Amino acid sequence: MIQVNDTTALGGYTNFVWGDNTLNKVMISPFNATLQSTLKVPTQIFGPYATSTFAAVSYSSHGVYSISGNSCFGIFAEDVNTCTGHGNCIALDTCVCRTGYADVDCGLPICYGLNSSHPSVCSGHGMCGDVDACICYSGYTGTTCGNQIIGTLYSAGGADTGQAADGLSGVYNTYTWYMTQAMAFSGVNVTWSSISQEGDASLVLTTAGVLYGVGLNTYGLLGDGTATMRLAKTLVTGPVLGKKIIDVCAGLKFAMAVDSTGKLYAWGYNGYDLFFINFFSYGQLGTGGTTSTYTPIQVGGDLLNITVAQIACGTSHAMAITSNATAFIWGNNDFKQVGDGLTTDRLLPFQIYLTGLIYKKRVVHIAGGQRHTVMLAADGVPYGVGDCYYYQFGTCPQTVMSPPFIIPGFAGKRIVRVAAGTLVSHFLDSTGDLYGVGYNSHWAVRILKTCF
């Protein structure tokens, strides 16, 4: 079936069909045995459907026919997904939203009186995941994300490269065996910190939005323009200096930060080699090239002029969520962790929501491990893509999972936060229960095949 613009027709269209008409399926006339023959050329539809606007075309073993009625943005009015599942389609591209949702397609939830696109929703420090359900950005907490985390920094564990920020270490094989105040930040109110994947450096964000680094500085991970190890805190320099930083993350020898205007910066190594024997350029800095840098540089591509709200760093791939809840991934893609279905590295950000079951869903949280990515949709459903050889998604058999799919095991639960380690994933639900899955090599030497 086709629809032809016809300004002389009542509905603005003239509709034609063709094919087997044995059962009069193509509606060229009232039921008439003499006309039940194969239509070899397009023939105009008879009666009340002659000039109707059709929502879609369907196909059967007996020919081509259509379903008439309203549609909103390409989805039938009768479909459960019409108006993004949050409203009723009453006319062509006209949705009436249910309480708690807004926008032309009812795709924006409302949190405490403000729809999710409002700059002050969730106190300006979070995303409206669903009706009255704020997902807070790093450094903020509370029902409406109105409480900034203000604290004193403590550390424990390895301290041989100064990463413990105690100002006293830097001696090989030095450890702090219990939580110790990070004296390098004595008197400084800290809101967030991120540890590099190797655990040899730390990036620390103050409540004033000032970003510092401390520890091993290979490939310029600390962003101070050098590769010199720092036992005392050092300011991250370049274009982030003097700007208010709202989020920071560290991967393996690279890091990223977002400023208060939503600009995203990256620095450090632009490839991956765990033992520094072979050097690969994966493009995790998102600049379009493979050159490493000791000072921050703005991430390019589609994110150059889009407001970024959240970020995450995997081993050698990077992730970001924009203020309109769209997710981007780039960098190492050898296990399809970027989500594009390929294994070619992405040197610029790729818009993940265009693929798999996450198609056009709002993404409110994201995390990455060594070769896998976990995402959280606004409806509280977690998605995964990439390496699953160690059951990072709790699925069997061990394989690469692509495109993005729903991570099983959470039926009836609403997930509010996701996290990822090298070969593990974690999920926090709305009741406060925490779930983990993946390679459990430390303290319990087994692989969690059944994890929920």
Q: Decide if 24 contacts 36 (C-beta within 8 A).
A: yes
Q: Nearest CA to 268 among 242, 248, 295, 244?
A: 295
What pLDDT is recorded for position 321?
A: 96
- Separation between Cα atoms, residue 413 and residue 371, nearest integer Å: 26
pLDDT > 60? residue 51: no
φ, ψ of residue 128 to 5 degrees: the values are -80, 100
Stretch 103-107: mean pLDDT? 92
Closest CA to 331 of 322, 344, 342: 344
- In percent, the amount of the chain with pLDDT more than 90 equals 52
**274 has a pLDDT exceeding 60:** no
Q: What is the CA radius of gyration of the chain?
A: 27
pLDDT category at 4 given cuts 50, 70, 90 is very low
| pLDDT over threshold 50, residue 24 | no
At 181 the pLDDT is: 78
Query: Which pLDDT score is estimated for 40?
Result: 62
Check whether the bond before 119 is cis (ω within 30° of 0). Answer: no
* Per-residue pLDDT reduced to its tens digit, 81-91: 899 889 999 99
Residue 10: exposed, middle, or buried by beta-carbon count in 10 A (0-12, 13-18, 19+)?
Answer: exposed
Q: Show the domains of the chain with their CATH numbers.
A: 2-69 (no CATH), 150-354 (2.130.10.30), 364-452 (no CATH)
Dump pLDDT digits (tens) for 154-210: 877 766 666 766 665 555 556 666 677 777 788 888 988 888 777 788 999 999 999
- Phi then psi for residue 218, to 5 deg, are -60, 135
Whole-structure pTM value: 0.79
Tell me the mean pLDDT in the region 52-78: 58
Q: What is the pLDDT of residue 52?
A: 43
Q: Please state, for a pLDDT cut of 70, what percent of the chain lies above it.
A: 75
- Taking only the tens place, the pLDDT of each residue in 355-371 is 778 888 899 999 999 99
Residue 5 is encoded by which pair of tokens? 């613009």
Q: How confident is the model at residue 402 (pLDDT cuts 50, 70, 90)?
A: very high
Q: pLDDT band for 238, please (50, 70, 90 cuts).
A: very high
What is the structure's pLDDT at 17?
Answer: 58
What average pLDDT does the structure give for the chain? 81
- pLDDT tens for residues 294-352? 999 999 999 999 999 999 999 999 999 999 899 999 999 999 999 999 999 999 999 99
Is the predicted pLDDT of residue 54 greater than 50, yes or no? no
Per-residue confidence (pLDDT) for residue 394, from 0 to 100: 85
| The pLDDT of residue 439 | 84
Least confident of 70-74, 319-323, 345-349, 384-388: 70-74
* Residues paired with residue 130 on neighbouring β-strands, in sequence order: 133
Q: What is the pLDDT of residue 297?
A: 97
Average the pLDDT over 402-429 and give the result.
92
- With a cut of 80, say whether residue 288 has pLDDT above it: yes
The predicted model gives 76-103 an average pLDDT of 92
Q: Write out pLDDT tens, residues 116-149.
A: 989 999 999 999 988 999 999 989 999 999 999 9
Q: What is the pLDDT of residue 264?
A: 98
Spacing of C-alpha 102 from chain mean position: 22
